């Protein structure tokens, strides 16, 4: 179950200082012509004690990047490599973002709270910008708000969009009508140590730094004491968390779009939303990125893709550990995934799992029913919430048809655990985030500078999150 925000005082804790010389470069933010506050996360600001900032102070920190008290004196562009669509790229790194601050939240799940990062997107050029302008489009920022809010509400462990400030520049992009408006975003995330961070150390043959980085991730991000075999210990944790991540994408009907190894966080937290989409129907071949012509990161291939990335982590860790030490953790990934996907689907259906065999049969029946009928994913989970205690919507004749026969039989044996008291469950239709609505929300901003539909949607999503108990 993802962690919900729990109020806490501001507690700066820039742990990266111990390893920053070998993993990052100090950089400066761009000076923007304007800084217009468009979104501040009123749900998560209190979890890190920043809710008392005035809008002026907020803009000074998250638009002009004046350091937060007791935090990093200068932003750090993080170094990493990664496989992009299976091709190794040693020329990447934080090209339009940096690590701005580190602080602890109020999560009771971890003593002393979790160590979180405030990282940016669109804050200017860095040594890793290559041909890029270091900027983020306003539309890209709005899309990231919508993705993170929806995923959080659906129970996916995700980075949070903490701040979005419009910056008054005109950007040229080939995937948006241009010139297009600019913005700088700040995300709150559980670390920024990616699989690609380890791949870089393997490629540059820096085993000592890799050992230190393993210690950093175990101690600071997993709150674990490194034991005799820290590499295997870390790999085991990463396997569990990334399997849960892949499973949660399926239950959410979400397609990330760019599951490159530099976009996979070693905490298993989902982040970095570019060409993402929610899948309207259960179509395994549905892709999000127009440039993913092979369908490498299609809806139904996401588990495989994330597993492949984790294999790259294991190969990197070979620089500090023997293959036999690492193999058991890696071999367990498919089993972790199977358990996690059953748990995630049962969670969204609001039913109690019944054990491996029964759950697998239920999932298979669901897969057949949804693929054949092409009932909307959100509609399906809405109607069957609690296992059908809530009478399946009279609206959809598909549920009575042959396609759903096995699913109806399978789910009848399940016990509903979800409360249906929340008013959301009496709405005519579920809350969704399909592409037409994303575009409509953006159009209101682009054409009339009307931010109302965006804020209304965030409220509606958070209400759904309440109803789902996430």
Task: Name the residue nearer to ligand AMP (CB basis): 133 or 212.
Answer: 133
Cis peptide before 179 (omega within 30 of 0): yes
Phi-psi region of 295 (alpha: psi -120 to 50; beta: other; left: phi over 0): left
Closest residue to Mg ion in the complex (CB): 272
- Asked if 326 and 231 count as a contact pair (C-beta separation under 8 A), the reply is yes
Task: Name the residue nearer to ligand AMP (CB basis): 100 or 424.
Answer: 100
- Residue 274 binds which entry of ligand AMP, Mg ion, none, CB below 5-8 Å type-dependent: ligand AMP
Residues contacting residue 39 through CB under 8 Å, at least 6 positions apart: 141, 145, 161, 163, 164, 454
Q: Please, is 73 exposed, middle or buried when counting C-beta atoms within 10 Å of its C-beta (0-12, 13-18, 19+)?
A: exposed
Q: What is the number of residues in the chain?
A: 470
Catalytic residue among 262, 272, 292, 403: 262
Q: How far is the CB of 347 from Mg ion (least distance, A)?
A: 28
Q: How far is the CB of 272 from Mg ion (least distance, A)?
A: 4
- Residue 295 binds which entry of ligand AMP, Mg ion, none, CB below 5-8 Å type-dependent: none
- The rounded distance, in Å, linking the Cα atoms of 308 and 440 is 36
Q: How far is the CB of 82 from ligand AMP (least distance, A)?
A: 8
Nearest to 222 by CA among 203, 241, 204: 241
- Residue 112 binds which entry of Mg ion, ligand AMP, none, CB below 5-8 Å type-dependent: none
HSE toward the beta carbon, residue 355, CA cutoff 13 A:
3
Interface contacts to ligand AMP, rule CB under 6 A: 92-96, 128-129, 132-135, 258, 262-263, 272, 274
- Residue 169 binds which entry of Mg ion, ligand AMP, none, CB below 5-8 Å type-dependent: none
Closest residue to ligand AMP in the complex (CB): 132
CB crowding 455-469: b at 16 or more within 10 Å, else e: eebbebbbbbbebbe
Task: Name the residue nearer to ligand AMP (CB basis): 157 or 262.
Answer: 262
CB crowding 266-295: b at 16 or more within 10 Å, else e: bbbbbbbbbbbbbbbbbbeebbbbeebeee
- The rounded distance, in Å, linking the Cα atoms of 59 and 31 is 13
For the record, the structure tokens of 390 come out as 């809530």
For the record, the structure tokens of 358 come out as 């029964």
Q: How far is the CB of 75 from ligand AMP (least distance, A)?
A: 14
Task: Name the residue nearer to Mg ion (CB basis): 263 or 267.
Answer: 263
Is 262 among the catalytic positions?
Answer: yes
- Residue 384 binds which entry of Mg ion, ligand AMP, none, CB below 5-8 Å type-dependent: none
Task: Name the residue nearer to ligand AMP (CB basis): 145 or 375.
Answer: 145
Q: How far is the CB of 97 from ligand AMP (least distance, A)?
A: 6
Q: How far is the CB of 137 from ligand AMP (least distance, A)?
A: 9
- The rounded distance, in Å, linking the Cα atoms of 389 and 189 is 37
Task: Name the residue nearer to Mg ion (CB basis): 59 or 260.
Answer: 260
Q: How far is the CB of 209 from ligand AMP (least distance, A)?
A: 20
- Residue 96 binds which entry of Mg ion, ligand AMP, none, CB below 5-8 Å type-dependent: ligand AMP
Interface contacts to Mg ion, rule CB under 5 A: 263, 272
Share of the chain residues as helix, strand and coil, in percent rounded to the nearest 5: 45, 15, 40
Task: Name the residue nearer to ligand AMP (CB basis): 49 or 82.
Answer: 82
- Residue 403 binds which entry of Mg ion, ligand AMP, none, CB below 5-8 Å type-dependent: none
Residues taking part in catalysis: 262
């Amino acid at each position: 179950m993802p962690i919900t925000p729990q109020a806490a005082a501001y507690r700066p804790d820039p742990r990266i200082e111990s390893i920053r010389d070998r993993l990052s470069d100090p950089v400066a933010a761009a000076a923007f012509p304007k800084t217009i506050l468009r979104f501040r996360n009123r749900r998560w600001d209190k979890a890190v004690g920043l809710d008392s900032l005035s809008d002026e102070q907020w803009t000074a920190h998250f638009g002009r990047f004046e350091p937060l008290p007791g935090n990093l004196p200068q932003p750090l562009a993080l170094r990493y490599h990664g496989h992009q669509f299976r091709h190794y790229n040693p020329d990447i790194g934080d090209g339009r973002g940096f690590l701005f601050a580190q602080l602890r939240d109020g999560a009771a799940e971890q003593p002393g709270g979790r160590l979180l990062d405030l990282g940016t997107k669109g804050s200017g050029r860095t040594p890793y910008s290559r041909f890029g302008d270091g900027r983020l489009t306003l539309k890209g920022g709005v899309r990231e708000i919508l993705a993170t809010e929806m995923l959080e509400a659906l129970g996916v462990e995700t980075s949070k969009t903490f701040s979005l400030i419009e910056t008054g520049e005109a950007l040229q992009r080939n995937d948006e009508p241009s010139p297009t408006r600019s913005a700088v975003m700040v995300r709150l995330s559980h670390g920024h140590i990616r699989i690609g961070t380890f791949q870089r150390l393997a490629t540059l043959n820096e085993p000592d730094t890799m050992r230190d980085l393993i210690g950093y991730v175990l101690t600071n991000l997993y709150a674990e004491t490194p034991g005799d075999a820290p590499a295997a210990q870390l790999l085991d944790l990463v396997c569990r968390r990334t399997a849960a991540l892949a499973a949660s994408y399926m239950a959410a009907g979400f397609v990330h779009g760019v599951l490159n190894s530099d976009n996979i966080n070693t905490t298993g937290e989902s982040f970095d939303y570019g060409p993402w989409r929610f899948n309207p129907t259960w179509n395994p071949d549905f892709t999000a990125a127009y440039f993913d012509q092979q369908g490498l990161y299609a809806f139904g291939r996401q588990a495989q893709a994330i597993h492949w990335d984790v294999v790259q982590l294991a190969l990197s860790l070979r620089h500090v550990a023997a293959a036999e030490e690492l193999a058991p953790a890696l071999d367990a990934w498919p089993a972790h995934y199977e358990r996690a996907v059953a748990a995630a689907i049962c969670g969204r259906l609001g039913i109690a799992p019944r054990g491996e065999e029964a759950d697998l049969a239920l999932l298979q029946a669901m897969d057949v029913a949804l693929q054949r009928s092409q009932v909307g994913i959100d509609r399906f989970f809405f109607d069957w919430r609690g296992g059908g205690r809530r009478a399946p919507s009279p609206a959809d004749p598909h549920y009575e048809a042959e396609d759903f026969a096995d699913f109806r039989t399978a789910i009848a044996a399940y016990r509903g655990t979800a409360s249906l008291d929340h008013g959301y469950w009496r709405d005519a239709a579920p809350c969704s985030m399909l592409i037409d609505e994303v575009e409509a929300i953006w159009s209101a901003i682009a054409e009339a500078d009307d931010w109302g539909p965006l804020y209304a949607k965030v409220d509606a999503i958070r209400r759904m999150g309440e109803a789902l108990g996430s």
